[in-house]
Structure 1
Amino acid sequence: MKIAQVAPLWERVPPPTYGGIELVVSHLTDELVRRGHDVTLFASGDSQTLAKLEAVYPRALRLDPDVKEYSVYEMLELSQVYQRASEFDIIHSHVGISALSLASLVSVPTVHTLHGRFTADNKNAFLHHHKQPYVSISDSQRTVNLNYVNTVYNGIEVADYPFVSHPQQPPYLAFLGRFSPEKGPHHAIAIAKKTGWQLKMAGKVDTVDAKFFEQEIAPHIDGKQIHYLGEVNHSEKAQLLGNASVTLFPITWEEPFGLVMIESMATGTPVLATAMGSVPEVVAQGISGYICNDYAQMAEMISAALKLNRQNCRQHVENNFSVTQMVNGYVGVYEQIIQERMNANGRIHAAKIQI
């Protein structure tokens, strides 16, 4: 198949530090190339890929302080994609509502992976284009009635996450993610303080979350019990998660997926997570972690999580969230959409002949 992958321009593919969508796009794109598909990746110019790279801007927009209007470059990217639509059998968009209008103007089908959540505003755009094909990354994400082709869980290269059979001593809890209210870093700190555990935290602070970080997080960072490591690269991330006794995932929103959970479990470290969004689909209760109703329960369940078999945590990821399984899912989606489009075109052609 000739496939166009359309990635956000905010981060490069794959991301050097934080960037869940871009990591998924990287794994998907490279594995499709390995399987013999002809893939073109539309992404930032500093992206690294086995596919043919088409770039509108030379580097990730987040790295350029001169870029003030992200939407301008996303518009240019999509213009380039759809001007070349006839070159592809299918276009796979990872950029949300921005691609919907252009996708409806060409005969080549576009499938949209929903990486984010629905809002009161963006759901209107999705509903207007509800007949286009969509892929959800968890069943819990399907809160708006759209033409869902399938749910395809995000996948990782498990081999990229070294298994750690015994956590580091002295023991600590881990938190990895954006320092934003919905990710719950302030609750991770509260859990650590309530239980007396050390907490090591890593992740980026977006401009929009700077005030939250300064007020709710920074005052608690003492370098003794509460440690802040900043943004970390892949190797540092794997070490942080793998050497931890437990990873905390105290979200306050309906998380569409949550790569951190499977990254932690891949290293062998169990997860304690809030029962919201995709969590019940990702964490195997009593096997790879515990799904908790609130933060007080998360604190109480640390001792139980310590007793879980770390090899079972990794096996859960290998069985359910590998790159192979993810790509198998997407190839099935592509084939189904292309066949349906061919069938529809055949019916249209037959109708014209009858007329």
Structure 2
Amino acid sequence: MKIAQIAPLAESCPPRLYGGTERIVSYLTDELVRQGHEVTLFASADSKTRAELVPCCDMALRLNPAVRDPLPYHMLMLEQVRRRAEEFDVLHFHIDFLHYPLAAAFVDRMVTTLHGRLDLPDLPPFYSLLPHYPLVSISDDQRRPLPMANWAGTVHHGLPKDILPFSPDPKDGYLAFLGRISPEKRPDRAIEIAARAGMKLKIAAKVDKADQAYWDGTIGPMVASHPNVEFVGEISEHDKAEFLGNACALLFPIDWPEPFGLVMIEAIACGTPVIAFRNGSVPEVIEDGVTGFIVRDLDEAVAAARRIHRLDRAKVRATFEERFTAERMAQDYLAIYRDLPGLRRAATRRPAEIVSDIDLRAVA
């Protein structure tokens, strides 16, 4: 199958530092190539991929100080997609709805994964006007605000099986917070949980410009006033295995409808259980009492931290291998691709014996 993957340009694929969507696009792309498909990745030029790379900007836009407006770069990328669209059996977009003005020409072989929150008042009117464009959610909970949308399926994220090694015996036994400093991620809760549980907390997170005031006014002073808290800053993928693997638990104290929460499966890949607040996708990702504890408030979170050692880290890792690998993610997406109208029509025009799982080309 010839597949185009169209990634956001904020980060490279995979990102050097923080970046969930581009990381998943990278893992999906490489796994599809590994399974024998012909994949073209539209992304920033500093991306590393097993697919054909179409460079759409010199480097990840977030890391380029010369970039003021990301939109022109995405428009240039879409022009490259438009020119090559007829080459592909499937076009898979990860850029929200930026491609919709072009979509009429290939809508029957197009799918769009929505990676962000959808509980925003501007979105239902928009998607109500375009209900025939197929969408993929990254959790069932994510799609609740848009029941009218054309949901082709839900595909939970996955990671390459060996990218984060299993860590059976965490060395330092600290609690970990990994991600982004923002009010909805609630690092303040993480600090309070650790303080009340009498445990060390390490925070590895980036501070976006939009959240600088929150850091300056709330989280920075809290870190300074709690000697048990260490702020590590933004870490690379190379550092993530050690950071998560040496933690006794990951704290995921969110206060928003999390669409998925990639850091949760990164933790369980290391065998590290997760203490997560019951919001958004959390009940779909975490098995309470197996891969962590799902809590409703700070008291429950503190109690969970004190008994986290009772969980079997080998079972945590085994659950990752069963549910959250890139291989499973790619297979789920392939099932959605094959159900697209353009591919179904192409399949009926060809002899059944030559229509295989590997090579299903949308040709007349």
Is the TM-score greater than 0.5?
A: yes
RMSD in angstroms over aligned alpha carbons?
1.8
Asked if residue 279 in structure 1 is aligned to residue 256 in structure 2, the reply is: no
State the distance in 1 between where 2:184 and 2:78 align: 30
Check 1:41–1:343 CA distance in 2 against 1; reply closer, same or farther (3 A cut). closer
Q: Deviations over 1:147-203 (max 9, x none)?
A: 11111110011311121111223x210000111111111111111122221100002
The answer for the alignment partner of 2:2 in structure 1 is: 2
The answer for the alignment partner of 1:163 in structure 2 is: 166
SS of the aligned residue for 2:124 comes to helix
The answer for the alignment partner of 1:200 in structure 2 is: 202
- Give the length in aligned residue pairs: 345
Which is bigger in relative contact order (C-alpha 8 A, separation at least 6)? Answer: 2
Asked if residue 135 in structure 1 is aligned to residue 136 in structure 2, the reply is: yes
The answer for the alignment partner of 1:210 in structure 2 is: 212
The answer for the alignment partner of 2:361 in structure 1 is: none
Shift of 1:242: 0.8
The answer for the alignment partner of 2:251 in structure 1 is: 248
Check 1:153–1:163 CA distance in 2 against 1; reply closer, same or farther (3 A cut). same
State the distance in 2 between where 1:112 and 1:83 align: 19
Gaps of 5+ in 1: 347-355
State the distance in 2 between where 1:224 and 1:235 align: 27
Provide TM-score, normalisation by structure 1.
Answer: 0.93
Gaps of 5+ in 2: 350-364
Sequence identity percentage? 45
State the distance in 2 between where 1:305 and 1:124 align: 44
- Contact 1:110–1:133 at 8 Å: present in 2 too? yes
| Matching residue's letter, 2:185 | K
Shift of 1:262: 0.7
Check 1:325–1:107 CA distance in 2 against 1; reply closer, same or farther (3 A cut). closer
The answer for the alignment partner of 1:231 in structure 2 is: 234
Shift of 1:100: 2.1
Matches within 5 A, 1:309-320: 309-320=312-323
Q: Deviations over 1:246-294 (max 9, x none)?
A: 1100001100110111111111111000101110000011001011112
- Contact 1:90–1:338 at 8 Å: present in 2 too? no
- Contact 2:109–2:343 at 8 Å: present in 1 too? no
Moved over 3 A (4+): 105-108, 338-341, 343-346
Shift of 1:235: 2.4
Shift of 1:344: 12
The answer for the alignment partner of 1:264 in structure 2 is: 267
Matches within 5 A, 1:23-34: 23-34=23-34
The answer for the alignment partner of 2:106 in structure 1 is: 106
The answer for the alignment partner of 2:83 in structure 1 is: 83
| Matching residue's letter, 2:264 | M
The answer for the alignment partner of 1:178 in structure 2 is: 180
The answer for the alignment partner of 2:35 in structure 1 is: 35
Provide TM-score, normalisation by structure 2.
Answer: 0.91
